[in-house]
Amino acid sequence: MQSFYDEFENRNVGLAAISTDLLVDAERMEVMAGAEFPILADTSEDVSKSYGVFNLLGDGVAAPATFVIRPDGGVVWGYVGINIGDRVPTQAILEMLDVVLGVEVGRRTLNHLSVPTH
């Protein structure tokens, strides 16, 4: 995500990662990744549970997931991985943002985006 951070900023959207790790581990991850966006610690698992992604894979942590969230908190789009390595490519997230934000993307529709499906 960090390598595409400018692309998110150019779209005037915020970016955050949330982990069920301890705060010290989330902070370490942020430094190691050189992240310009926050990596937040959901140590109580409340956020992960509220989005329905906690322990879906039976491993006691949140499943990999990506959500596009409006300023009012509503989820515009989401994807939940079916295994630990199942993550949406950053380019697909940017394409989805273009659709959500109404940016001209040619004749592409949601069905033609390169977003993985289960």
Q: What is the signed CA dihedral for 16, 13, 76, 105, rounded to 10 degrees?
A: -130
Query: pLDDT tens for residues 33-87?
Result: 999 989 999 999 999 999 999 999 999 999 999 998 888 888 888 999 999 999 9
In angstroms, the CA 27 to CA 30 distance is 5
Residue 89: what are its φ and ψ, rounded to 5°?
Answer: -60, 140
How high is the pLDDT of residue 1?
79
- DSSP letter at 17 equals E
Handedness of CA 37, 39, 44, 47 (dihedral sign): positive
Average pLDDT, the chain: 85
Going along the chain from its start, the domains and CATH numbers come out as 2-112 (3.40.30.10)
Bigger pLDDT: 107 vs 21: 21
